[in-house]
Chain A
Amino acid sequence: DTEVTQTPKHLVMGMTNKKSLKCEQHMGHRAMYWYKQKAKKPPELMFVYSYEKLSINESVPSRFSPECPNSSLLNLHLHALQPEDSALYLCASSYTTSYNEQFFGPGTRLTVL
């Protein structure tokens, strides 16, 4: 299995909702990443988990809360989002953070109303 899966594919939520994005990989990778991508822009790093511990938080607002329950799973909990948070959220994984050959999932297209 050489892929990263993400669910849901699309998500529409109101500003008062709480929702979660899920990412899964079964490649034995110990580093997992969340990126945010706005239209016609490159991905921007949000969080890095290394061996299930948060190693990088790129000054992301607290309305985004990451969680890594085990080495295969990565969640992003969303609460009280703003319309400007609408974007494609991409998950990626790599063997470790020292081996940066990152494999990306297909993304979750998030719309905040």
Chain B
Amino acid sequence: GEDVEQSLFLSVREGDSSVINCTYTDSSSTYLYWYKQEPGAGLQLLTYIFSNMDMKQDQRLTVLLNKKDKHLSLRIADTQTGDSAIYFCAEVPGDGGSQGNLIFGKGTKLSVKP
């Protein structure tokens, strides 16, 4: 089947904005998630967006959803060195929504240079 696609690497300077992109597979996905994973740690849920929304803002984080193109993005404003991590997008396919089946992208490694 198709994969959830993400670019593998992103490098930004401290204080700049970061934009991490994701293309998901199922147009009937109900929820889309962004997780952060620091080295050697578990996954931290950052934010999510419901499929009937176009945008969601939460402090420094802005999620944009384009359902027509099945495109999801995460913008981090004023990026800090502590934001360096791997960021995974994840979808819940329409037919798996009742079974908890999260499908993850391969992850984008964000490096923040001082």
Interface residues of A (CB under 8 A from B): 4, 6, 31, 33, 40-43, 45, 48, 50, 55-56, 90, 92, 94, 97-98, 100-107, 109
Contacts and interface: CB of A to CB of B under 8 A. Distances in A.
Contacts, number: 62
Interface residues of B, number: 22
A50 to B, nearest CB: 7
A33 B100 contact: yes
Interface stretch (B53-61, B62-70, B73-81, B91-99): B91-99
Interface string B27-49: 00001010100001111110010
Interface of A is mostly: strand
23 contacts: A41-B107, A42-B88, A42-B104, A43-B43, A43-B88, A48-B99, A48-B100, A48-B101, A56-B99, A94-B100, A97-B100, A98-B98, A100-B31, A100-B102, A101-B31, A101-B33, A101-B48, A104-B35, A104-B43, A104-B44, A106-B41, A106-B42, A107-B42
Given A42-B106, A101-B48, A90 B42 contact: yes
